[in-house]
Structure 1
Amino acid sequence: MAERDPTIAAAGAARSPGATWTDILEVDGRPVPAFLKEESYRYLGSEPIDATVYTSAEHQALENARMWPNVWQFAARDEDMPEPGDYIVYENAGRSFLVVRQDDGSVRAMHNVCLHRGRKLRLEDGSADRFQCPFHGFTWNKDGSLADIPCRWDFTHLTDAKMQLPEAEVARWQGYIFLRENHGGPSIEEFLAPLPEFFERWRHDQCTTAIWVGKEVAANWKVTMEAFMEAWHTIVTHPQLLPFTGDANTSYNIYGDNVNVAYTPFGVMSPHIDPEGKEQQWIVDEFIKYNGRSADNYADSPYAVTVPEGMSARRALGEAMRKNFAETFGHADLHEQATDVEVLDGLVYNVFPNFAPWGGYMPNIVYRWRPGSDPDHCLMEVRILVRIPEDQPIPRGVPMKLLGRDQKWTDAPELGVLGHVFEQDMENLPYVQDGLKVSKTGEVQLGDYQEIRIRQFHQTMRKYLDA
């Protein structure tokens, strides 16, 4: 165990000065669900992380062999492939899958490889009743069963059963489609717990993908993901957000091995800002300029908020956001019960190893990170889910816009000011990757509280790699 200064608080007990998360919830405009109030933190040690977990090709190979095949992976959403025969090509960690909608509405995931000479069957998403290999014409039905072998007389040793495309396990939850390469292990509900209980309130299955942007990043997938697992880097990386973001007042919680969350309050000033002379209207005005999830990013209606005398910026923003979203997206009953927290704050959950859906009722960000072909690159994806009015069917989602290594997030104008925020993060990440390679100590030091989510992730990953 690392040595500690005996003059400071007990391990993991220190918190930023100022209002706590629970203090903020006490003055919410509506009763807040109990699970948002409950602390689920535990001290996991203070040992450093070995820098080679981010830079070593051998470590990446170990992840590919021992971790990825045994975890539930977020592969698609229902709106990506709503009709029978619709399929997506999901590729990750050295595997390629065809995730296909069946005639009965179910979903199957087959390995995207011809069993004859090994060519990939499909390179892009699409719709098909059969998958014919472009090399020699071996053909499979959309359920993975063999349909045809040209010159079958020369393959009498191959039975239909032997030529069934190998399948991964598939599970579905709240509009998300997951696969697991190796069969067996916890159910999706067990793996995600306690998300199924929490998200029953927010119902992502009533949403569709309105924006989806991916970008190749010149950093390891874990380096990139971890930049989005704590809020206190805001003070230097995103200073424009400080007037309305309680960055260091964020609440961090971990659940079991697989799930964690950061609850970041908006509509309150950062403890790093001197409040002297700062009016509540200033907080609101800065929020409207720089917050990437305001309603005006997803609707044409104007979004202006005047703070009444005696009201806090947070309360005024909560009322305005609730009204605007109810008018824009319907579900007035849901928004009537929605708390300020659920229409305003960053409720950022992470599910091991690489899936991060935001909670609440406003348009929800969903992150996914996938490793590249080498440890120095990855693919980061950002989806924005919007709620569909209850009297309308869920429409097909938009396809992903892929940005290359030399493009910026701001080259996707549909992201609005979020693109600028992500680009600020990108200015750090390649140099983090480079720095880890040349580090004299070869160690990464983590905070006991604000970086507990990162520590939980590494301890869970270690359990797979050591198995």
Structure 2
Amino acid sequence: MTAIEPPPEVAAAKSPGVTYQDLLDADTHPVPDVLRLESPRYFGSDDVPIERYTSREWHRKEVDHLWKKVWQFACREEHIPEVGDYIKYDIAELSYLVVRTDDGIKAYPNACLHRGRQLKEYDGHCSELRCAFHGFAWKLNGELQDIPAAWDFPHVDQRPDDFTLPECSVGTWAGFVFINPDPDAAPLEEHLGDTMEQFEIWDLENRYVEGHVSRVIEANWKIAQEAFCEAYHVNATHPQILTYLGDTNSQVDVFENCSRVITPGGTPSPLLGDDTGLSEQEMLRSMLDVRVDQEAPFEVPDGTTARAVAAAASRERWRPIVGDRVDQMSDSEMMDSIDYTVFPNFHPWGAFNRIVYRFRPNGDDHRSAIMECFFLSPFTGERPPPAEEIKLGVDDIWASAPVLGMLAKVFEQDVFNMAKVQKGLETTSKPGATFSNYQESKIRWLHTLLGEWIERGEAAAAASGQPVEVSRGTK
């Protein structure tokens, strides 16, 4: 991935107000080194072609050169705790089975090697992988186990390798299970890179899935994802949180296959100006969503800040679950949105934010996506079972999933824009989408990597004599 040296006017551009590092300097607790890292990257100021959102041809390139070749989050290990447990993972029109076997976790294309029917339609538990069409069956380890009327298939015995279920690459990290349809893929650890080291202090492995909500979005998966890759939209989309969220003072860091946006809480937006007259107590009331006719649950003492008081309250909320460990957590870890993205579509949040996002194409429709939010929570004692997925359709509201709490209102505001962005891009005569140099540099990073993946894939296809433009599935 190649970043370039920014011109002087770009390098000098800076949002007014305190920086994120200034806020860390005022923290009431020691700040972990991982939050002191700064890694801005400049990817140029060129527009991104709108065909990446609207073109059927580009979608097909993503399927063939990205989704068939990249590491992607499929499930948590606790989703398949026992031998025989499996989940069906779908991406675009592709479908895979992720199975717990005696030899660990394996993944296979979800297709019978006889006539191609999907082997499984739902998540579940089984002792074998048997096709419901004609009854061909495989052991959990992929070995062919049974052919009804085997006397009529002597040619199958002559091709045993062709009738063993082909395996995808599988890797695990912090309780997450990743698959890569490419059996020759480089190790998962190489793909995760900086992510593994930076998340060591937050121990995502010892969490459980407290909530899992998905919703169909009428927009390309990148449009849905990009709404959660910057805080620049807050002033217009979420104006109710400007009084306590430092949106344009977010810190954006780009590494290699991961990036992050850290948006500070308990500090007002610089877009409100210097003369807001907002007191620390008023900021706290806004943060807690206290109505004007209600008393706040606690006060901000003189000489302290709403950020410090809210962080202290958050520590007490988590103390019964994680104990005195909370006393080692900084205000930032209690208050801030620490939103990482691992290319291409996996979004784990740092500290105790609990949030993990995933964005996928909705089947073979390049104008539709599935947005998912997992709540990954600490626990005491035995790990609770993972929550069942709550599946919402296009017309369902996020509040239909009570587990989301106040986040449902914020999501509703985000989704309000997405379909309209898709329609606007389909209509505009402008050939590209314009992004800022810094605040939206995470989106530029995503498109830089995406372009490199597609370019490499096309080059490899051309070198092997395959057609560069893929017409399969076009309309």
Q: 2:307 aligns with which of 314, 319, 328?
A: 314
Give the conservation status (yes or no) of the 8 Å contact 1:81–1:87: yes
Q: Alignment partner of 2:272: what SS?
A: coil
Deviation of 1:34 after TM superposition, in Å, equals 1.8
Give the conservation status (yes or no) of the 8 Å contact 1:12–1:449: no
C-alpha separation in 1, matches of 2:382 and 2:105: 19
C-alpha separation in 1, matches of 2:302 and 2:10: 43
Give the conservation status (yes or no) of the 8 Å contact 2:195–2:342: no
Identity across aligned pairs (percent)?
A: 39
Superposed, which structure 2 residues align to 1:68-83 within 5 Å?
68-83=67-82
Q: 1:366 aligns with which of 353, 356, 363?
A: 356
C-alpha separation in 2, matches of 1:174 and 1:83: 18
- CA deviation vs aligned residue, 1:259-292 (integer Å, no higher than 9, x gap): 11000000111112255331111111111128xx
C-alpha change, 1:111 and 1:315, in structure 2 (3 Å) is same
C-alpha separation in 2, matches of 1:228 and 1:63: 21
Superposed, which structure 2 residues align to 1:5-44 within 5 Å?
10-44=9-43
Give the partner amino acid of 1:366: V
Q: Alignment partner of 1:110: what SS?
A: strand
Superposed, which structure 2 residues align to 1:236-255 within 5 Å?
236-255=236-255
Deviation of 1:12 after TM superposition, in Å, equals 4.2
Give the conservation status (yes or no) of the 8 Å contact 2:169–2:185: no
Give the conservation status (yes or no) of the 8 Å contact 2:337–2:353: no
1:393 aligns with 2:382: yes
Partner of 1:423: 412
Runs of 4+ in 1 over 3 A off after TM superposition: none
Structure 1: which 5+ residue stretches go unaligned?
Answer: 1-5, 291-302
Partner of 1:334: 325
Give the partner amino acid of 1:107: I
- CA deviation vs aligned residue, 1:41-68 (integer Å, no higher than 9, x gap): 1211000000010000000000001111
1:378 aligns with 2:362: no
Normalized against structure 2, the TM-score is what? Answer: 0.90
Partner of 1:299: none
Give the partner amino acid of 2:404: L
Give the conservation status (yes or no) of the 8 Å contact 1:305–1:320: no
Partner of 1:410: 399
- Coordinate RMSD, CA, aligned: 1.7
Q: 2:431 aligns with which of 442, 445, 453?
A: 442
Partner of 1:300: none
Give the partner amino acid of 2:421: V
Q: How many corresponding residue pairs?
A: 443
Give the partner amino acid of 2:73: F
Give the partner amino acid of 1:411: S
- CA deviation vs aligned residue, 1:77-123 (integer Å, no higher than 9, x gap): 0121111111100010221111011235x210011111111110111
Give the partner amino acid of 1:99: V
Give the conservation status (yes or no) of the 8 Å contact 1:12–1:42: no
Partner of 2:472: none
Deviation of 1:324 after TM superposition, in Å, equals 1.3
Q: 1:347 aligns with which of 338, 355, 361?
A: 338
C-alpha separation in 1, matches of 2:389 and 2:239: 29
Q: Alignment partner of 1:121: what SS?
A: coil
Partner of 2:276: 276
Give the partner amino acid of 1:25: L
Structure 2: which 5+ residue stretches go unaligned?
Answer: 1-5, 291-295, 457-475
C-alpha separation in 2, matches of 1:236 and 1:404: 25
Partner of 2:464: none
Give the conservation status (yes or no) of the 8 Å contact 2:216–2:392: yes
Superposed, which structure 2 residues align to 1:60-459 within 5 Å?
60-104=59-103, 106-159=104-157, 160-256=160-256, 258-274=257-273, 275-289=275-289, 304-327=297-320, 329=321, 331-360=322-351, 362-372=352-362, 373-389=364-380, 392-459=381-448
Normalized against structure 1, the TM-score is what? Answer: 0.92
Deviation of 1:306 after TM superposition, in Å, equals 2.1
Give the partner amino acid of 1:456: W
Which stretch has the larger CA shift, 82-91 or 392-401? 392-401
